Amino acid sequence: MSSSKSIVKDKIVDEDAYAEELYNDLISSCSKHVKVKDIKLIRKAFDLAKESHKGVKRKSGEPYIVHPIAVAKIVTSEIGLGAVSIACALLHDVVEDTEYTLEDIDHLFGEKIASIIDGLTKISGVFDKHSSLQAENFRKMLLTLSDDVRVILIKLADRLHNMRTLDSMPPNKQLKIAGETTYLYAPLAHRLGLYAIKSELEDLSLKYRHPKVFDEILNKIKDNEKKRQQEINRFSLPIIEKLEKHNIEFDISGRPKSIFSIWNKMQSKNIPFEEVYDLMAIRIVFTPVSREVEKAQCWQIYSLITDIYTPKPDRIRDWISSPKANGYEALHTTVMGPNGKWVEVQIRSQRMDEIAERGFAAHWKYKGENSSESELDKWIKKIRLMLENPNSDALEFLDEFKMNLFSAEIMVFTPKGDLKTLPKNSTTLDFAYEIHSEIGNKAIGAKVNHKLVPLNHILRSGDQVEIITSNKQKIQKEWLSHVKTAKAKTSITDAIKAETKDRIQKGKSILETKLKNLKVHPSGRVLRKIIPAYEVVNKDELYSKIGSGIIKLDDLKKILKKNTKNKIIRYWGLQIAKTTSSSKPKKEPQIPKKTDKFNYKDPVIIRDGSDEENYNVKISQCCNPIPGDEVIGYKKPESDTVFIHKAKCPTAIKLMSSEGNYIVPARWTSQKYLSSLAKLTLNGIDRIGIASDITSVISNELTVNIRKIFIETHDGIFEGELELYVHNVTDLNNLIMNISKLKGVNSVKRSEEISK
Ligand code: MN
């Protein structure tokens, strides 16, 4: 490429002459089976491509026609396709980028070529424009768009050339293209058995995605090359002697390891370069006496080698009797080498080798005189069947995309289709922090593949992730256990520190102001009085709780006066009457009625004279009352626990009739800052965006916080559960009303039981 570039740049050469030069090179690289009529077709395609792209330049400055010619050359000499594919490769960008339409192609070249070009145009739309690709969609797309697998093969050639010339792209584009290539195209090439293309795509991607790593490994390979060659020679020499003695025509070489495969092993096994590189693999490619004895010869070679070196038991891989799904055939064994290291030996015939490197397409070359593209069509049919059948092969195909051949990294997509790389086991919260620390700090949930999931949801390759944020979100300590990336951990720790510091500062100044108003000097003695009164352990906790509004200082004056006789049990803002099992309440139990108006500023406290306050107040799990609900207390006989029930709770009603003596009136105080857990169940007609609409209604409700969201859809219906922290029934009812108003929502109900 460098020479052709210089031609263009040095003198503005006649584009036509330059293109002609490249064309001749293309034709000479076509294999012998291309006939005169084929050449005519290729020429016609070339002329149209040249004409339609005339005057257009690539990013590199070269005339555009360089690209289709290069793609056509890959199609013929690296994938081994024939004239129709070459013509299509030449025309692959014509409909998309020029004024020519599909109808024009149809008129000029007929239906077959037009349909392939149509596929190529569509596939490029899906790949390059929207690219919200997920393994499953990807497979479906391959199925619907490629009635002819040539579409995919030409697309792969297109991508390979783009990767080879990626240098001229701006860096952000480079990363996007390289990411897609590792994630989608390389596995696809692998699946189609195009090993050489797969390896090159992977290496090129790595070069742009992790340039430092790439260079490091490349240099290490260079440094070790000599030593390695010596080892290979030492191992091979006895084999060469022996095989020659048996008149076998063969080549022996060290199996080249791609930079990517070395890196991938280093990552997945967590071992250094040397350890990966140390594992030697030898490849023997032989020319069989005839096709019939090919298999027998493989075993003959195996036998000759194991006469020299001891094979490792259980390490024979016979992919001759049963080839791999992608067509790979070979005999693998592992033997003990002269320096006490295991060496993998791959035995292949020339035909097998070509299939291994170039895929099934290489097959037809060996099918005798009638070889034409129809042989390829058979193969295409086979691939199509493979894609269509929901058998293990197809599943394996899908898995390969989901696993994307990495084990150390996953690749996920933003809603716009941008690719993000994260370590394996990363969560939605990691993803949020990967995008921006502010997104992470405000994250309340996420949609993965349009399904609502929590922040600790573990992502898988291919997931498309949308983060739901709320300005009211507060960072929680437990988030640290939800994240995997260092970036997220640092951000969370920083944010917690900053927030705590802020709160303490704020709380301190609030307290100081209040004390000042009461004309009390904030001494240690004063604090020692305040700290136990608010049931906190130290100053910082006190300040922090004042700062966040959990502790309101309304009764500060009282506390300072140290009036122990009028103690109130405080629990979730609840005030209950005190009683003991031995003394019955003086009045009949008072069940609050709807018409009751609580004077919140001065709550009614019913006392029985006892000054003990060792009560355990528990919110009953059977009905889960929240502030605002009419409640009663049930004090268990012979115990200090008071259970709070809703007044209408069936259990409470039963208790009132049977154990009325132990019922005590209870009332909520209006401590707005206190939150209680409530659960809603809802259902409705599923539509796009319903989950986010519900979430945003909740986010708009200032006094409501989400604990858990779960929404499930099936057959066009959604069902969901929300667990929320609310302040009181009024707020909850408001929320229920607002959610009910949403389009598609059928019912929203408060549910009694709360999950733990
Ligand atoms: Mn192209």
- Beta carbons within 10 angstroms of residue 517's beta carbon: 10
Kindly write down the DSSP assignment for every residue of 10-77, as one continuous string.
Answer: HS---HHHHHHHHHHHHHHHS-TT--HHHHHHHHHHHHHHHHHTTT-B-TTSSBTTHHHHHHHHIIII
Q: What is the whole-number distance in angstroms between the Cα of residue 537 and the centre of ligand 1?
A: 68
Of 55-64, 313-322, 445-454, 635-644, the range with the lowest mean pLDDT is 635-644
Of 171-180, 496-505, 598-607, the range with the lowest mean pLDDT is 598-607
pLDDT of 330 reads 93
pLDDT tens for residues 282-323? 999 999 998 889 999 999 999 999 999 988 877 788 888 877
Determine the longest span between alpha carbons in the chain, in angstroms.
Answer: 114
DSSP 631: E
**Averaged pLDDT, 459-469:** 83
220 is written with which tokens?
Answer: 């290490």
Residue of 554 and 242 predicted with greater confidence = 242
Which residues have a beta carbon within 5 Å of ligand 1, which is an ion? Answer: 93, 158
Residue 251 has pLDDT above 80, yes or no: yes
**Averaged pLDDT, 235-255:** 93
Q: What is the whole-number distance in angstroms between the Cα of residue 94 and the centre of ligand 1?
A: 9
| Sheet containing 317-318: order of strands | 249-254, 280-287, 342-349, 331-336, 317-318
**Averaged pLDDT, 492-504:** 86
**Averaged pLDDT, 657-680:** 71
Please check whether residue 203 is in contact with residue 259, taking contact to mean a CB–CB distance below 8 angstroms: yes
Q: Provide the pLDDT confidence category of residue 73 given band limits of 50, 70 and 90.
A: very high
Mode of pairing for the β-strands spanning 342-349 and 443-448: unpaired
Kindly write down the DSSP assignment for every residue of 695-726, as one continuous string.
Answer: HHHHHHSTT-EEEEEEEEEETTEEEEEEEEEE
pLDDT tens for residues 107-142? 999 988 998 888 888 766 555 544 444 444 555 555
Q: What is the whole-number distance in angstroms between the Cα of residue 185 and the centre of ligand 1?
A: 14
Q: Provide the pLDDT confidence category of residue 92 given band limits of 50, 70 and 90.
A: very high
Distance between CA atoms of residues 359 and 354, nearest Å: 7
Q: What is the whole-number distance in angstroms between the Cα of residue 161 and the centre of ligand 1?
A: 8
Mode of pairing for the β-strands spanning 676-685 and 717-726: antiparallel
Query: What percentage of residues in the chain have a pLDDT greater than 90?
Result: 21
Please check whether residue 283 is in contact with residue 348, taking contact to mean a CB–CB distance below 8 angstroms: yes
Residue 46 has pLDDT above 90, yes or no: yes
Residue 326 has pLDDT above 80, yes or no: no
Q: What is the whole-number distance in angstroms between the Cα of residue 87 and the centre of ligand 1?
A: 13
pLDDT of 429 reads 94
Q: Spell out the domains of the chain, with CATH numbers in brackets.
A: 7-213 (1.10.3210.10), 218-364 (3.30.460.10), 375-477 (3.10.20.30), 496-579 (no CATH), 604-668 (no CATH), 676-751 (3.30.70.260)
Buried b (16+ CB within 10 A) or exposed e, 606-643: beeeeeeeebebebbeebbbbbbbbbbbbbeeeeeebb
Q: What is the whole-number distance in angstroms between the Cα of residue 6 and the centre of ligand 1?
A: 22
First to last CA, the chain: 65
Mean pLDDT score across all residues of the chain: 77
Residue 84 has pLDDT above 70, yes or no: yes
pLDDT of 601 reads 29
Q: What is the whole-number distance in angstroms between the Cα of residue 298 and the centre of ligand 1?
A: 41
DSSP 665: E
User: pTM for this one?
Assistant: 0.53
Q: What is the whole-number distance in angstroms between the Cα of residue 156 and the centre of ligand 1?
A: 10
pLDDT of 130 reads 42
Q: Residue 412: which H helix or E strand, with range?
A: strand 409-413
Q: Provide the pLDDT confidence category of residue 669 given band limits of 50, 70 and 90.
A: low
Q: Residue 87: which H helix or E strand, with range?
A: helix 83-91
Q: What is the whole-number distance in angstroms between the Cα of residue 218 and the centre of ligand 1?
A: 29
pLDDT of 142 reads 59
**Phi-psi sector, 418: left (phi>0), alpha (psi -120 to 50), beta:** beta
pLDDT of 565 reads 36
Q: What is the whole-number distance in angstroms between the Cα of residue 122 and the centre of ligand 1?
A: 12
Residue 151 has pLDDT above 50, yes or no: yes
Q: What is the whole-number distance in angstroms between the Cα of residue 639 and the centre of ligand 1?
A: 80
Of 75-84, 374-383, 545-554, the range with the lowest mean pLDDT is 374-383
Contacts of 181 (CB under 8 A, 6+ apart): 159, 163, 201, 202, 204, 205
Q: What is the whole-number distance in angstroms between the Cα of residue 121 and the centre of ligand 1?
A: 10
**Averaged pLDDT, 233-239:** 93
Q: What is the whole-number distance in angstroms between the Cα of residue 90 and the centre of ligand 1?
A: 9
Residue 65: name the closest of 29, 114, 109, 23 by CA. Answer: 23
Query: What percentage of residues in the chain have a pLDDT greater than 70?
Result: 78
In the block, residue with structure tokens 């169940």: 681
| φ, ψ of residue 278 in degrees (nearest 5) | -60, -30
pLDDT of 574 reads 45
589 is written with which tokens?
Answer: 């139990």
Q: Provide the pLDDT confidence category of residue 398 given band limits of 50, 70 and 90.
A: very low
Please check whether residue 295 is in contact with residue 323, taking contact to mean a CB–CB distance below 8 angstroms: no
pLDDT of 387 reads 56
Active site residues per annotation: 96-97
**Phi-psi sector, 716: left (phi>0), alpha (psi -120 to 50), beta:** left
pLDDT of 216 reads 92
Of 327-341, 502-516, 605-619, the range with the lowest mean pLDDT is 605-619
pLDDT of 165 reads 94
Q: What is the whole-number distance in angstroms between the Cα of residue 498 and the centre of ligand 1?
A: 51
pLDDT tens for residues 555-611? 888 877 764 333 333 333 444 444 333 333 334 334 433 333 333 322 223 233 333
Residue of 199 and 539 predicted with greater confidence = 199
